[in-house]
Amino acid sequence: MINIEELRQNEFKRRLKHLKYAKKQEIVSFRRRQGQLHVTYVMTQVGVSGGAKIIFEHANRLIQLGVKVSIVSHFPKPTWYPIEAHYIKVPFTLELAKGIPECDVIIATYWDHINACIETGIAPVVYFEQGDFHLFDFNNLTHEFKEIIYSQLQLPEYIITVSKTTADLIKKLYNRDSIVFHNAVDEGIFVEEGEKYESEHPYLLMMGSEYSKFKGIDDIINSYNCLKSQGYELDLIWITPNKPTEVYQDKVSKVFINPPQSKIAELYRGAFLFVSGSRYESFSLPVLEAMSCGCPVISTRNVGVLEYAKDNFNALITEIGDHKDIAKKIEILLNDNVLLQKIRKNGLYTAQKFRWESIIPKILNYYKYVSMYKVNEINKIDDWKIYISYGEFLNNIDIDRFNKFLLQTNVDIVLVPKVYNLCDYKIAEWTVAAKRKKTESGRTDYCYSPIKGDLNELSYYDAYEFYEKGLFNEALISFMKYYKKEHDQLKKTVYLRWIILSLIKLNRYEEAGRLLEGSIKLYKDYSDLYYLYMFILYLNKHEYKKFLDIVSILGDATNYPEFFVDIEEKLKGIVD
Protein backbone atom coordinates (compact mmCIF):
# COMPACT_ATOMS: atom_id res chain seq x y z
CA MET A 1 0.00 0.00 0.00
CA ILE A 2 2.83 2.38 0.86
CA ASN A 3 6.29 2.04 -0.65
CA ILE A 4 9.03 3.64 1.47
CA GLU A 5 11.63 3.37 -1.27
CA GLU A 6 9.26 5.15 -3.66
CA LEU A 7 8.82 7.95 -1.10
CA ARG A 8 12.59 8.30 -0.76
CA GLN A 9 13.03 8.38 -4.53
CA ASN A 10 10.34 11.04 -4.87
CA GLU A 11 12.11 13.20 -2.30
CA PHE A 12 15.44 12.68 -4.06
CA LYS A 13 13.90 13.75 -7.38
CA ARG A 14 12.65 16.93 -5.73
CA ARG A 15 16.18 17.59 -4.45
CA LEU A 16 17.65 17.05 -7.91
CA LYS A 17 15.53 19.89 -9.27
CA HIS A 18 17.32 22.23 -6.87
CA LEU A 19 20.83 21.09 -7.75
CA LYS A 20 21.36 23.29 -10.78
CA TYR A 21 20.84 26.29 -8.49
CA ALA A 22 23.17 24.95 -5.77
CA LYS A 23 25.99 27.15 -4.54
CA LYS A 24 28.94 26.45 -2.28
CA GLN A 25 28.16 27.45 1.28
CA GLU A 26 29.85 30.71 2.18
CA ILE A 27 30.76 31.20 5.82
CA VAL A 28 32.30 34.06 7.79
CA SER A 29 33.90 34.07 11.22
CA PHE A 30 32.00 35.58 14.14
CA ARG A 31 31.89 35.48 17.91
CA ARG A 32 29.47 32.67 18.73
CA ARG A 33 27.04 33.27 21.56
CA GLN A 34 28.10 31.83 24.88
CA GLY A 35 26.25 28.74 25.99
CA GLN A 36 25.69 25.13 25.10
CA LEU A 37 26.90 23.99 21.68
CA HIS A 38 24.04 22.56 19.58
CA VAL A 39 24.88 20.04 16.85
CA THR A 40 22.30 18.48 14.50
CA TYR A 41 22.84 15.21 12.61
CA VAL A 42 20.68 14.75 9.50
CA MET A 43 20.08 11.05 8.72
CA THR A 44 18.45 9.47 5.67
CA GLN A 45 18.61 6.01 7.28
CA VAL A 46 18.33 4.95 10.93
CA GLY A 47 17.90 1.20 10.39
CA VAL A 48 20.33 -1.38 11.73
CA SER A 49 23.72 -0.63 10.19
CA GLY A 50 27.27 0.16 11.19
CA GLY A 51 26.99 3.67 9.77
CA ALA A 52 23.91 4.55 11.84
CA LYS A 53 25.50 3.02 14.93
CA ILE A 54 28.54 5.30 14.58
CA ILE A 55 26.35 8.40 14.32
CA PHE A 56 24.38 7.38 17.42
CA GLU A 57 27.67 6.82 19.25
CA HIS A 58 28.80 10.32 18.27
CA ALA A 59 25.51 11.79 19.47
CA ASN A 60 25.37 9.98 22.81
CA ARG A 61 28.98 10.66 23.69
CA LEU A 62 28.84 14.32 22.69
CA ILE A 63 25.85 14.69 25.00
CA GLN A 64 27.93 13.21 27.81
CA LEU A 65 30.43 16.02 27.18
CA GLY A 66 27.71 18.66 27.55
CA VAL A 67 26.70 19.18 23.90
CA LYS A 68 23.07 19.52 22.87
CA VAL A 69 22.50 17.07 20.01
CA SER A 70 19.50 16.70 17.70
CA ILE A 71 18.91 13.96 15.15
CA VAL A 72 16.64 14.65 12.17
CA SER A 73 15.17 11.77 10.15
CA HIS A 74 12.10 10.75 8.19
CA PHE A 75 11.86 7.49 10.11
CA PRO A 76 10.42 6.87 13.59
CA LYS A 77 12.95 6.83 16.40
CA PRO A 78 14.71 3.45 16.25
CA THR A 79 14.59 1.06 19.18
CA TRP A 80 17.55 -1.15 18.23
CA TYR A 81 20.07 1.27 19.74
CA PRO A 82 19.79 3.59 22.77
CA ILE A 83 19.52 7.20 21.58
CA GLU A 84 19.90 10.06 24.04
CA ALA A 85 19.67 12.89 21.51
CA HIS A 86 16.60 15.00 20.83
CA TYR A 87 14.97 13.08 17.97
CA ILE A 88 13.00 14.97 15.30
CA LYS A 89 10.88 12.95 12.89
CA VAL A 90 10.15 14.85 9.69
CA PRO A 91 7.12 13.94 7.53
CA PHE A 92 8.15 11.89 4.51
CA THR A 93 6.39 14.34 2.25
CA LEU A 94 8.57 17.21 3.51
CA GLU A 95 12.21 17.72 2.54
CA LEU A 96 14.31 16.18 5.32
CA ALA A 97 16.37 19.32 5.95
CA LYS A 98 13.19 21.33 6.67
CA GLY A 99 13.18 19.69 10.10
CA ILE A 100 16.59 21.02 11.13
CA PRO A 101 16.22 23.12 14.30
CA GLU A 102 18.09 26.29 15.16
CA CYS A 103 21.63 25.06 15.90
CA ASP A 104 25.34 25.87 15.65
CA VAL A 105 26.56 23.07 13.37
CA ILE A 106 24.73 20.81 10.89
CA ILE A 107 26.13 17.36 10.06
CA ALA A 108 24.97 15.99 6.70
CA THR A 109 25.51 12.23 6.93
CA TYR A 110 24.96 11.35 3.27
CA TRP A 111 25.87 13.12 0.04
CA ASP A 112 22.29 13.35 -1.25
CA HIS A 113 21.15 15.97 1.28
CA ILE A 114 24.20 18.23 1.51
CA ASN A 115 22.63 20.96 -0.64
CA ALA A 116 19.30 20.73 1.19
CA CYS A 117 21.11 21.29 4.51
CA ILE A 118 22.97 24.28 3.09
CA GLU A 119 19.76 25.81 1.68
CA THR A 120 18.30 26.12 5.18
CA GLY A 121 20.83 28.86 5.92
CA ILE A 122 20.78 27.85 9.59
CA ALA A 123 24.41 26.94 10.29
CA PRO A 124 27.69 25.75 8.74
CA VAL A 125 27.35 22.28 7.23
CA VAL A 126 29.87 19.50 7.85
CA TYR A 127 29.64 16.49 5.54
CA PHE A 128 30.32 13.22 7.37
CA GLU A 129 31.48 10.61 4.81
CA GLN A 130 31.40 6.96 5.94
CA GLY A 131 31.89 5.42 2.51
CA ASP A 132 29.51 3.79 0.05
CA PHE A 133 29.25 2.82 -3.63
CA HIS A 134 30.13 6.36 -4.75
CA LEU A 135 33.62 5.79 -3.35
CA PHE A 136 34.16 2.06 -3.71
CA ASP A 137 32.24 1.32 -6.91
CA PHE A 138 32.90 4.62 -8.67
CA ASN A 139 33.72 3.16 -12.10
CA ASN A 140 30.28 1.58 -12.39
CA LEU A 141 28.45 4.87 -11.87
CA THR A 142 26.88 6.63 -14.83
CA HIS A 143 28.47 9.87 -15.98
CA GLU A 144 25.36 11.78 -14.84
CA PHE A 145 25.50 10.25 -11.37
CA LYS A 146 29.20 11.01 -11.02
CA GLU A 147 28.51 14.66 -11.84
CA ILE A 148 25.65 14.86 -9.34
CA ILE A 149 27.72 13.45 -6.48
CA TYR A 150 30.77 15.50 -7.46
CA SER A 151 28.73 18.70 -7.40
CA GLN A 152 27.29 17.86 -3.96
CA LEU A 153 30.71 17.28 -2.42
CA GLN A 154 31.93 20.69 -3.63
CA LEU A 155 29.27 22.52 -1.60
CA PRO A 156 30.25 22.20 2.09
CA GLU A 157 33.26 23.94 3.57
CA TYR A 158 34.00 20.98 5.83
CA ILE A 159 34.24 17.22 5.26
CA ILE A 160 35.11 14.61 7.88
CA THR A 161 35.51 10.86 7.43
CA VAL A 162 36.43 7.68 9.30
CA SER A 163 39.70 6.50 7.76
CA LYS A 164 42.73 7.64 5.83
CA THR A 165 41.87 5.30 2.96
CA THR A 166 38.44 6.92 2.66
CA ALA A 167 40.01 10.38 2.84
CA ASP A 168 42.38 9.42 0.02
CA LEU A 169 39.45 8.30 -2.14
CA ILE A 170 37.54 11.52 -1.46
CA LYS A 171 40.59 13.46 -2.62
CA LYS A 172 41.22 11.26 -5.66
CA LEU A 173 37.62 11.07 -6.92
CA TYR A 174 36.12 14.37 -5.76
CA ASN A 175 39.16 16.60 -5.21
CA ARG A 176 38.21 17.46 -1.62
CA ASP A 177 40.34 17.35 1.49
CA SER A 178 38.86 15.85 4.63
CA ILE A 179 39.66 15.41 8.31
CA VAL A 180 39.87 11.84 9.67
CA PHE A 181 38.20 10.84 12.93
CA HIS A 182 38.47 7.08 13.30
CA ASN A 183 35.61 4.90 14.45
CA ALA A 184 36.04 3.31 17.86
CA VAL A 185 34.88 0.42 20.02
CA ASP A 186 32.38 0.78 22.86
CA GLU A 187 34.69 -0.16 25.71
CA GLY A 188 31.74 -0.79 28.01
CA ILE A 189 30.40 -3.65 25.86
CA PHE A 190 33.07 -5.09 23.58
CA VAL A 191 35.55 -6.43 26.11
CA GLU A 192 37.45 -9.68 26.52
CA GLU A 193 35.95 -10.60 29.88
CA GLY A 194 32.28 -11.56 29.99
CA GLU A 195 29.77 -14.20 29.02
CA LYS A 196 30.55 -16.31 25.97
CA TYR A 197 28.01 -17.82 23.63
CA GLU A 198 28.28 -21.61 23.48
CA SER A 199 27.57 -23.82 20.49
CA GLU A 200 27.71 -27.59 19.90
CA HIS A 201 30.83 -27.20 17.75
CA PRO A 202 33.45 -24.45 17.43
CA TYR A 203 31.78 -21.76 15.36
CA LEU A 204 32.64 -19.19 12.76
CA LEU A 205 30.83 -15.86 13.13
CA MET A 206 29.82 -13.60 10.24
CA MET A 207 27.80 -10.39 10.06
CA GLY A 208 25.81 -8.64 7.35
CA SER A 209 22.68 -8.80 5.22
CA GLU A 210 22.26 -11.15 2.28
CA TYR A 211 20.81 -8.16 0.43
CA SER A 212 24.07 -6.20 0.83
CA LYS A 213 26.10 -8.15 -1.69
CA PHE A 214 29.27 -6.22 -0.93
CA LYS A 215 29.35 -7.92 2.50
CA GLY A 216 30.44 -11.18 0.81
CA ILE A 217 28.03 -13.42 2.75
CA ASP A 218 27.97 -15.92 -0.14
CA ASP A 219 31.78 -16.17 -0.10
CA ILE A 220 31.81 -17.02 3.60
CA ILE A 221 29.06 -19.62 3.21
CA ASN A 222 30.92 -21.23 0.30
CA SER A 223 34.15 -21.36 2.30
CA TYR A 224 32.25 -22.95 5.20
CA ASN A 225 30.87 -25.62 2.87
CA CYS A 226 34.40 -26.33 1.62
CA LEU A 227 35.59 -26.97 5.18
CA LYS A 228 32.61 -29.18 6.01
CA SER A 229 33.25 -31.26 2.90
CA GLN A 230 36.78 -31.85 4.23
CA GLY A 231 35.38 -33.26 7.46
CA TYR A 232 35.80 -30.28 9.79
CA GLU A 233 33.10 -30.09 12.47
CA LEU A 234 32.25 -26.41 12.57
CA ASP A 235 29.13 -24.29 13.00
CA LEU A 236 28.45 -21.05 11.15
CA ILE A 237 26.52 -18.40 13.09
CA TRP A 238 25.14 -15.39 11.31
CA ILE A 239 24.27 -11.94 12.69
CA THR A 240 22.00 -10.09 10.25
CA PRO A 241 19.88 -6.92 10.45
CA ASN A 242 17.09 -8.51 8.37
CA LYS A 243 15.20 -11.78 8.51
CA PRO A 244 16.97 -13.99 5.95
CA THR A 245 15.25 -15.93 3.21
CA GLU A 246 14.75 -19.65 3.87
CA VAL A 247 17.35 -20.46 1.21
CA TYR A 248 20.03 -18.61 3.16
CA GLN A 249 18.82 -19.60 6.61
CA ASP A 250 19.20 -23.28 5.72
CA LYS A 251 22.87 -22.74 4.83
CA VAL A 252 23.97 -21.76 8.35
CA SER A 253 23.81 -23.28 11.83
CA LYS A 254 22.02 -20.41 13.57
CA VAL A 255 20.81 -16.90 12.80
CA PHE A 256 20.59 -13.90 15.13
CA ILE A 257 18.40 -11.14 13.72
CA ASN A 258 19.31 -7.70 14.99
CA PRO A 259 20.48 -8.85 18.45
CA PRO A 260 21.32 -6.30 21.17
CA GLN A 261 24.91 -5.10 21.39
CA SER A 262 25.54 -7.16 24.54
CA LYS A 263 24.53 -10.36 22.72
CA ILE A 264 26.84 -9.48 19.80
CA ALA A 265 29.70 -9.17 22.30
CA GLU A 266 28.84 -12.63 23.71
CA LEU A 267 28.90 -14.06 20.20
CA TYR A 268 32.31 -12.49 19.48
CA ARG A 269 33.75 -13.86 22.72
CA GLY A 270 32.48 -17.38 22.07
CA ALA A 271 33.50 -17.60 18.41
CA PHE A 272 36.50 -19.55 17.15
CA LEU A 273 36.87 -16.93 14.41
CA PHE A 274 35.12 -13.84 13.12
CA VAL A 275 35.12 -13.85 9.30
CA SER A 276 34.55 -10.73 7.18
CA GLY A 277 34.05 -11.18 3.44
CA SER A 278 33.42 -7.53 2.53
CA ARG A 279 34.32 -6.29 -0.95
CA TYR A 280 34.66 -2.81 0.50
CA GLU A 281 34.44 -1.03 3.83
CA SER A 282 35.44 2.44 4.93
CA PHE A 283 36.67 1.26 8.34
CA SER A 284 35.01 -2.09 9.24
CA LEU A 285 33.91 -1.66 12.84
CA PRO A 286 32.76 -5.31 13.39
CA VAL A 287 36.32 -6.56 12.79
CA LEU A 288 37.63 -4.15 15.42
CA GLU A 289 34.85 -5.11 17.85
CA ALA A 290 35.74 -8.78 17.42
CA MET A 291 39.40 -8.01 18.15
CA SER A 292 38.34 -6.09 21.27
CA CYS A 293 36.46 -9.17 22.52
CA GLY A 294 39.47 -11.44 22.02
CA CYS A 295 38.05 -13.08 18.90
CA PRO A 296 40.63 -13.91 16.18
CA VAL A 297 39.80 -12.41 12.78
CA ILE A 298 39.98 -13.36 9.12
CA SER A 299 39.11 -10.56 6.71
CA THR A 300 39.27 -9.72 3.04
CA ARG A 301 41.79 -7.21 1.81
CA ASN A 302 39.29 -4.32 1.71
CA VAL A 303 40.69 -0.82 2.11
CA GLY A 304 38.81 -0.09 5.33
CA VAL A 305 40.10 -3.01 7.33
CA LEU A 306 43.66 -2.36 6.16
CA GLU A 307 43.49 0.88 8.15
CA TYR A 308 44.43 -1.21 11.20
CA ALA A 309 44.64 -4.92 10.22
CA LYS A 310 47.99 -6.49 9.31
CA ASP A 311 48.31 -9.95 7.79
CA ASN A 312 49.80 -12.56 10.11
CA PHE A 313 49.94 -10.00 12.93
CA ASN A 314 46.40 -9.25 14.14
CA ALA A 315 44.42 -10.97 11.35
CA LEU A 316 44.74 -13.27 8.39
CA ILE A 317 43.98 -11.36 5.21
CA THR A 318 42.31 -13.02 2.21
CA GLU A 319 41.74 -11.97 -1.37
CA ILE A 320 38.41 -10.30 -2.07
CA GLY A 321 35.75 -12.59 -3.56
CA ASP A 322 37.89 -15.73 -3.19
CA HIS A 323 36.01 -18.23 -1.01
CA LYS A 324 38.75 -20.82 -1.48
CA ASP A 325 41.30 -18.44 0.00
CA ILE A 326 38.97 -17.78 2.94
CA ALA A 327 38.61 -21.54 3.52
CA LYS A 328 42.38 -21.97 3.27
CA LYS A 329 43.04 -19.28 5.91
CA ILE A 330 40.41 -20.73 8.26
CA GLU A 331 42.02 -24.15 7.88
CA ILE A 332 45.43 -22.69 8.75
CA LEU A 333 44.10 -21.39 12.07
CA LEU A 334 42.26 -24.63 12.78
CA ASN A 335 45.64 -26.37 12.71
CA ASP A 336 47.96 -23.72 14.15
CA ASN A 337 47.06 -22.72 17.69
CA VAL A 338 50.26 -20.69 18.13
CA LEU A 339 49.33 -18.42 15.21
CA LEU A 340 45.72 -18.30 16.42
CA GLN A 341 46.77 -17.02 19.84
CA LYS A 342 49.23 -14.54 18.30
CA ILE A 343 46.46 -13.04 16.17
CA ARG A 344 44.12 -12.97 19.14
CA LYS A 345 46.64 -11.21 21.40
CA ASN A 346 47.65 -8.64 18.79
CA GLY A 347 44.00 -7.99 17.94
CA LEU A 348 43.35 -7.06 21.56
CA TYR A 349 46.36 -4.74 21.46
CA THR A 350 45.14 -3.09 18.24
CA ALA A 351 41.61 -2.52 19.54
CA GLN A 352 42.97 -0.63 22.56
CA LYS A 353 44.13 2.13 20.20
CA PHE A 354 40.58 2.91 19.06
CA ARG A 355 38.60 4.20 22.03
CA TRP A 356 35.83 6.78 22.03
CA GLU A 357 37.24 8.42 25.14
CA SER A 358 40.12 9.74 23.05
CA ILE A 359 38.29 10.30 19.74
CA ILE A 360 35.09 12.11 20.79
CA PRO A 361 36.92 15.05 22.46
CA LYS A 362 38.73 15.63 19.16
CA ILE A 363 35.41 15.66 17.30
CA LEU A 364 33.97 18.07 19.86
CA ASN A 365 36.91 20.46 19.45
CA TYR A 366 36.42 20.34 15.68
CA TYR A 367 32.71 21.17 15.99
CA LYS A 368 33.56 24.03 18.35
CA TYR A 369 35.93 25.38 15.71
CA VAL A 370 33.23 25.14 13.01
CA SER A 371 30.72 26.87 15.30
CA MET A 372 32.91 29.98 15.29
CA TYR A 373 31.64 30.60 11.76
CA LYS A 374 28.21 31.59 10.52
CA VAL A 375 26.53 31.39 7.13
CA ASN A 376 27.17 34.39 4.92
CA GLU A 377 23.94 36.00 3.77
CA ILE A 378 23.33 36.00 0.02
CA ASN A 379 20.10 38.04 0.27
CA LYS A 380 18.76 40.94 2.30
CA ILE A 381 15.36 41.11 3.96
CA ASP A 382 14.70 44.21 1.83
CA ASP A 383 14.92 41.99 -1.27
CA TRP A 384 11.55 40.52 -0.30
CA LYS A 385 7.95 41.64 -0.22
CA ILE A 386 6.57 39.98 2.90
CA TYR A 387 2.84 39.21 3.03
CA ILE A 388 2.55 38.23 6.69
CA SER A 389 3.23 40.00 9.97
CA TYR A 390 5.81 38.66 12.37
CA GLY A 391 3.14 38.64 15.08
CA GLU A 392 1.44 35.77 13.23
CA PHE A 393 4.29 33.33 13.89
CA LEU A 394 3.77 30.86 16.71
CA ASN A 395 7.11 31.67 18.39
CA ASN A 396 10.41 33.51 17.97
CA ILE A 397 12.21 30.35 16.82
CA ASP A 398 9.94 30.21 13.77
CA ILE A 399 10.65 33.88 13.05
CA ASP A 400 14.41 33.20 13.11
CA ARG A 401 14.00 30.18 10.83
CA PHE A 402 11.93 32.22 8.36
CA ASN A 403 14.40 35.12 8.30
CA LYS A 404 17.41 32.84 7.81
CA PHE A 405 15.59 31.09 4.99
CA LEU A 406 14.93 34.39 3.22
CA LEU A 407 18.55 35.45 3.65
CA GLN A 408 19.89 32.22 2.13
CA THR A 409 17.41 30.86 -0.42
CA ASN A 410 17.67 31.33 -4.18
CA VAL A 411 13.95 30.80 -4.88
CA ASP A 412 11.50 33.62 -5.63
CA ILE A 413 8.42 32.56 -3.68
CA VAL A 414 8.35 31.26 -0.10
CA LEU A 415 5.37 29.50 1.44
CA VAL A 416 4.71 28.78 5.13
CA PRO A 417 1.99 26.68 6.78
CA LYS A 418 -0.97 28.61 8.19
CA VAL A 419 -2.40 26.69 11.15
CA TYR A 420 -6.08 26.69 12.14
CA ASN A 421 -7.37 25.38 15.47
CA LEU A 422 -10.67 23.71 14.63
CA CYS A 423 -13.13 22.02 16.96
CA ASP A 424 -11.75 18.48 16.55
CA TYR A 425 -8.50 18.96 14.67
CA LYS A 426 -5.63 21.30 14.01
CA ILE A 427 -5.09 21.76 10.27
CA ALA A 428 -2.65 23.71 8.12
CA GLU A 429 -2.63 25.09 4.60
CA TRP A 430 0.33 26.49 2.67
CA THR A 431 0.20 30.23 2.11
CA VAL A 432 2.51 32.68 0.33
CA ALA A 433 4.62 34.45 2.96
CA ALA A 434 7.16 36.27 0.79
CA LYS A 435 8.00 37.05 -2.84
CA ARG A 436 11.29 38.33 -4.19
CA LYS A 437 10.88 41.89 -5.46
CA LYS A 438 13.06 41.17 -8.49
CA THR A 439 12.15 37.68 -9.63
CA GLU A 440 14.84 35.46 -11.10
CA SER A 441 13.73 31.86 -11.61
CA GLY A 442 10.09 31.93 -10.51
CA ARG A 443 10.77 28.94 -8.28
CA THR A 444 8.83 28.20 -5.10
CA ASP A 445 10.00 26.59 -1.87
CA TYR A 446 8.53 25.83 1.54
CA CYS A 447 9.71 27.06 4.93
CA TYR A 448 8.23 25.14 7.85
CA SER A 449 7.66 28.13 10.13
CA PRO A 450 3.96 27.96 11.03
CA ILE A 451 1.77 31.04 11.44
CA LYS A 452 -1.63 31.44 13.08
CA GLY A 453 -4.68 31.35 10.85
CA ASP A 454 -8.05 33.06 11.37
CA LEU A 455 -11.03 30.75 10.83
CA ASN A 456 -12.76 33.44 8.79
CA GLU A 457 -9.96 33.06 6.22
CA LEU A 458 -10.96 29.47 5.44
CA SER A 459 -12.19 29.28 1.86
CA TYR A 460 -14.96 26.92 2.98
CA TYR A 461 -15.83 28.66 6.26
CA ASP A 462 -19.58 28.50 5.60
CA ALA A 463 -19.42 24.68 5.31
CA TYR A 464 -17.19 24.40 8.36
CA GLU A 465 -19.69 26.46 10.41
CA PHE A 466 -22.27 23.71 9.88
CA TYR A 467 -19.75 21.12 11.05
CA GLU A 468 -18.78 23.17 14.11
CA LYS A 469 -22.44 23.58 15.13
CA GLY A 470 -23.06 19.84 14.85
CA LEU A 471 -25.15 20.16 11.69
CA PHE A 472 -23.27 17.34 9.99
CA ASN A 473 -25.79 16.56 7.26
CA GLU A 474 -25.76 20.21 6.14
CA ALA A 475 -21.96 20.22 6.37
CA LEU A 476 -21.81 17.10 4.19
CA ILE A 477 -24.01 18.65 1.51
CA SER A 478 -22.00 21.88 1.54
CA PHE A 479 -18.60 20.15 1.33
CA MET A 480 -19.86 17.96 -1.53
CA LYS A 481 -20.76 21.11 -3.46
CA TYR A 482 -17.25 22.46 -2.96
CA TYR A 483 -15.82 19.11 -4.08
CA LYS A 484 -17.84 19.06 -7.31
CA LYS A 485 -16.89 22.65 -8.20
CA GLU A 486 -13.16 22.06 -7.67
CA HIS A 487 -11.24 20.92 -10.79
CA ASP A 488 -7.76 20.68 -9.27
CA GLN A 489 -7.29 17.06 -8.18
CA LEU A 490 -5.01 17.94 -5.27
CA LYS A 491 -7.32 20.67 -3.97
CA LYS A 492 -10.21 18.23 -4.12
CA THR A 493 -8.54 16.36 -1.23
CA VAL A 494 -9.38 19.29 1.09
CA TYR A 495 -13.10 18.74 0.62
CA LEU A 496 -12.80 14.98 0.34
CA ARG A 497 -11.42 14.80 3.87
CA TRP A 498 -14.24 16.95 5.26
CA ILE A 499 -16.82 14.82 3.47
CA ILE A 500 -15.40 11.74 5.19
CA LEU A 501 -15.30 13.51 8.57
CA SER A 502 -18.96 14.46 8.15
CA LEU A 503 -19.90 10.87 7.24
CA ILE A 504 -18.11 9.63 10.37
CA LYS A 505 -20.04 12.11 12.52
CA LEU A 506 -23.25 10.80 10.92
CA ASN A 507 -22.18 7.19 11.79
CA ARG A 508 -22.20 6.32 8.08
CA TYR A 509 -19.04 4.24 8.49
CA GLU A 510 -19.51 1.86 5.56
CA GLU A 511 -20.02 4.73 3.16
CA ALA A 512 -16.98 6.56 4.54
CA GLY A 513 -14.92 3.35 4.35
CA ARG A 514 -15.78 2.76 0.69
CA LEU A 515 -14.91 6.35 -0.15
CA LEU A 516 -11.59 6.01 1.67
CA GLU A 517 -10.68 2.76 -0.09
CA GLY A 518 -11.05 4.39 -3.48
CA SER A 519 -9.35 7.63 -2.45
CA ILE A 520 -6.28 5.93 -0.96
CA LYS A 521 -5.60 4.35 -4.35
CA LEU A 522 -5.47 7.85 -5.86
CA TYR A 523 -3.59 9.60 -3.05
CA LYS A 524 -1.19 6.92 -1.81
CA ASP A 525 0.85 9.18 0.46
CA TYR A 526 -1.99 11.23 1.98
CA SER A 527 -1.67 10.31 5.65
CA ASP A 528 -4.92 12.08 6.60
CA LEU A 529 -6.87 9.42 4.69
CA TYR A 530 -5.03 6.54 6.37
CA TYR A 531 -5.68 8.17 9.74
CA LEU A 532 -9.42 8.45 9.04
CA TYR A 533 -9.58 4.84 7.85
CA MET A 534 -7.80 3.77 11.04
CA PHE A 535 -10.21 5.87 13.11
CA ILE A 536 -13.21 4.11 11.55
CA LEU A 537 -11.67 0.70 12.24
CA TYR A 538 -10.99 1.78 15.83
CA LEU A 539 -14.57 2.99 16.36
CA ASN A 540 -15.88 -0.33 15.06
CA LYS A 541 -13.39 -2.34 17.16
CA HIS A 542 -11.57 -3.76 14.11
CA GLU A 543 -7.83 -4.33 13.69
CA TYR A 544 -6.14 -1.06 12.71
CA LYS A 545 -2.39 -1.60 13.35
CA LYS A 546 -1.50 -1.69 9.64
CA PHE A 547 -2.83 1.84 9.19
CA LEU A 548 -1.27 2.98 12.46
CA ASP A 549 2.14 1.97 11.11
CA ILE A 550 1.55 3.74 7.80
CA VAL A 551 0.53 7.01 9.46
CA SER A 552 3.53 6.78 11.83
CA ILE A 553 5.88 6.47 8.85
CA LEU A 554 4.30 9.16 6.66
CA GLY A 555 3.70 11.81 9.32
CA ASP A 556 1.91 15.04 8.37
CA ALA A 557 0.80 15.21 4.72
CA THR A 558 2.75 18.38 4.00
CA ASN A 559 2.75 17.90 0.22
CA TYR A 560 -1.02 18.43 0.11
CA PRO A 561 -2.82 21.80 0.07
CA GLU A 562 -4.25 21.14 3.53
CA PHE A 563 -3.27 18.60 6.18
CA PHE A 564 -3.74 17.55 9.79
CA VAL A 565 -1.03 19.05 12.02
CA ASP A 566 0.85 16.74 14.42
CA ILE A 567 -1.06 13.73 13.17
CA GLU A 568 1.08 11.41 15.27
CA GLU A 569 -0.20 13.17 18.39
CA LYS A 570 -3.73 12.33 17.22
CA LEU A 571 -2.64 8.70 16.97
CA LYS A 572 -1.72 8.70 20.65
CA GLY A 573 -5.30 9.64 21.49
CA ILE A 574 -6.46 6.43 19.83
CA VAL A 575 -3.68 4.09 20.95
CA ASP A 576 -3.72 5.32 24.57
For 510-537, what is each residue's pLDDT tens digit? Answer: 999 999 999 999 999 999 999 999 999 9
Distance from C-alpha of 175 to C-alpha of 19, rounded to nearest angstrom? 19
For residue 352, give the 3-state DSSP assignment.
coil
Distance from C-alpha of 280 to C-alpha of 138, rounded to nearest angstrom? 12
Q: Is the pTM of this model over 0.85?
A: yes
- Note the pLDDT of residue 572: 76
First-to-last CA distance in the chain? 25
Which percentage of the chain shows pLDDT scores above 70?
99
Contact of 338 with 316, CB cutoff 8 Å: no
- Note the pLDDT of residue 8: 72
Interstrand relation of 413-421 and 426-436 (parallel, antiparallel or unpaired):
antiparallel
Give whole-number Cα distances, 540 to 183, 440, 531, in Å: 52, 54, 14
Contact of 404 with 120, CB cutoff 8 Å: yes
Distance from C-alpha of 493 to C-alpha of 483, rounded to nearest angstrom? 8
Confidence class for position 575, pLDDT limits 50, 70, 90: low
* DSSP structure class, residue 376: P
Task: Give the type of residue at 225.
Answer: N
- Note the pLDDT of residue 5: 72
Is 305 a residue whose pLDDT tops 90? yes
* Mean pLDDT, rounded, for 15-28: 83
Confidence class for position 502, pLDDT limits 50, 70, 90: very high
- Identify the weakest region by mean pLDDT among 94-98, 155-159, 226-230, 460-464: 94-98
* Mean pLDDT, rounded, for 105-116: 96
* Mean pLDDT, rounded, for 181-190: 94
- Identify the weakest region by mean pLDDT among 144-153, 267-276, 300-309, 538-547: 538-547
Q: Does domain 4-180 have CATH number 3.10.129.10?
A: no
- Between 168 and 8, the more confident residue is 168
Which backbone phi and psi does 254 adopt, to 5 degrees?
Answer: -160, 150
Is 563 a residue whose pLDDT tops 70? yes
Is 7 a residue whose pLDDT tops 80? no
- Note the pLDDT of residue 356: 96
User: What is the chain's alpha carbon radius of gyration, rounded to the nearest angstrom?
Assistant: 27
- Note the pLDDT of residue 441: 82
Is 48 a residue whose pLDDT tops 90? no
Q: Does domain 458-576 have CATH number 1.25.40.10?
A: yes
Does the fold of domain 458-576 match that of domain 4-180?
no
Cα-to-chain-centroid distance, residue 161: 18
Whole-number mean pLDDT of the chain? 94
Which backbone phi and psi does 281 adopt, to 5 degrees?
Answer: -150, 150
For residue 360, give the 3-state DSSP assignment.
helix
For residue 78, give the 3-state DSSP assignment.
coil
Q: Does domain 203-354 have CATH number 3.50.50.60?
A: no
Locate the domains of the chain by residue range: 4-180, 203-354, 377-453, 458-576
Contact of 47 with 131, CB cutoff 8 Å: no
